[in-house]
Amino acid sequence: MSNQALPRPRFNAPEPERGTKAALKIEAKTGPLLQGKVSEVPDALFAGAMRLCGLAIVALLGLIVYQLIEGSQLSWHAFGWKFFGQSDWNPVEDQYGALPFIYGTVVSSILSLIIAVPLAVGVAVFITEMCPVRLRGILSFTTELLAAIPSVIYGLWAIFVLVPIMREYVQPFLGKTLGWTGFFTGPSYGIGMLAAGTILAIMIIPIISSISREVLVVVPQHQREAVLALGATRWEMIRMGVLRNARAGIVGAVILGLGRALGETMAVTMVIGNRPEIAKSLFAPGYTMASVLANEFSEATGDLYLSALIEIGLALFLVTIVVNALARLMVWSVTRGQPAKGMA
């Protein structure tokens, strides 16, 4: 409807003659006035078909919810809420508790946010506020290129490049300097929570930075000018005039990144070590909800085993839905309903 305010029709609009031809044909048969009556049925059919397509999306979501709830019934009746509080995962004895996976998902995601957020916001600020115009396009294109790489390729790279670097340099260094905190102790395997968090961070940076950029761009120019006119330096202008105004939107972008990190499967599965244990040290191997599904779903023998896995899927689904809905509301509150391109 927003287009109604546009200027009068452009006569060199694409292919006007096509419409004209069609119109002439109809006119020759029935005359333009009767045309409304003649075409009512196909019009209604077409509208109905399109409505059906729209409805199909809602139906798909319903289907997802139905499948997950239906599939997890068995496990729900067997364990109830205890399922999420127990840390015993033992398919041999049919004992299932999802706590280690929930822990792994939460810790790896939070770790990735800690690494990714400052970097992503820094890139967004640089591109919108400091970058020479010529560099701007190239930079935003390259950061978005990171988003186009399939997750399995990130995992491949992580196994053969990131993990050795972690094992040889990063983990010994962290162990020496920060070992006293208890978060960086134990043998350096390379694989483990820290590697998973790092590769996740690399993967969610493009999302956070491209949405933050959109949010920063819509901060009104006069806010910047006002702060600068008061004698602020460029950094003070960014801090007071831009970041403060875009706060809600940036938080939304971060939460969207979190949603992606929570559900990310392949790269994490390949480097986290896949051991259902809760350890304080980030060097230790862990397991996430998504990666236990990836590893065990196709091999799950026994109905209860499968049902427990589907229940993990259901929990993952619910958490990401809530996180995403929240994030979209926050981004929307800043961009005021302008479609955010990076999210599509």
Partner 1 sequence: MSSNLAVIPQIVVPPISWRRRATDRLMTGVAVLTVILVLLPLFAIFAYLVYKGIGSINLAFLTQTPKPVGEPGGGMANAIVGSMVILGIASLMGVPLGIGAGVFLSEYGRNRYGDAVRFVSDVMNGVPSIVIGIVAYGLVVLRQKHFSALAGGVALAIMMVPTIARTTEQMLLLVPQSIREAALGLGVSRWRTTLSITLRTATSGIITGVMLAFARVAGETAPLLFTAFGNQFWNKDINQPTAALSLQIFTYAISPFDEWHRQAWAGALVLIVLIVSAVAAVRLAVRHGKLAGA
CB nearer to partner 1: pick between 102 and 121: 121
**Two tokens at 327?**
């994030």
**For the chain, how far is it from start to end, CA to CA, in angstroms?**
21
Encoded tokens for 75: 């496990």
Q: Which is nearer to partner 1, 238 or 254 (CB)?
A: 238
How long, in residues, is the chain? Answer: 344
Residue 280 CB, nearest approach to partner 1 (Å): 26
Nearer to partner 1, 100 or 313 (CB): 313
Least separation in angstroms between residue 73's CB and partner 1 is 12
Q: How far is the CB of 182 from partner 1 (least distance, A)?
A: 27
For partner 1, give the closer residue by CB, 278 or 300: 300
Burial 81-102 (b: 16+ CB within 10 A, else e): eebeeeeebebeeeebbbbbbb
CA gap 50, 139 in Å, rounded: 39
CB of 55 to partner 1, least distance (A): 8
Q: Do 342 and 212 meet the contact criterion of CB atoms below 8 Å apart?
A: no
Residue closer to partner 1 (CB basis): 88 or 303: 303
Q: CA 102 to CA 312: how far, in whole Å? A: 9
Q: Is the separation of the CB atoms in 288 and 271 below 8 Å?
A: no
At its nearest, how many Å lie between partner 1 and the CB of residue 88? 23
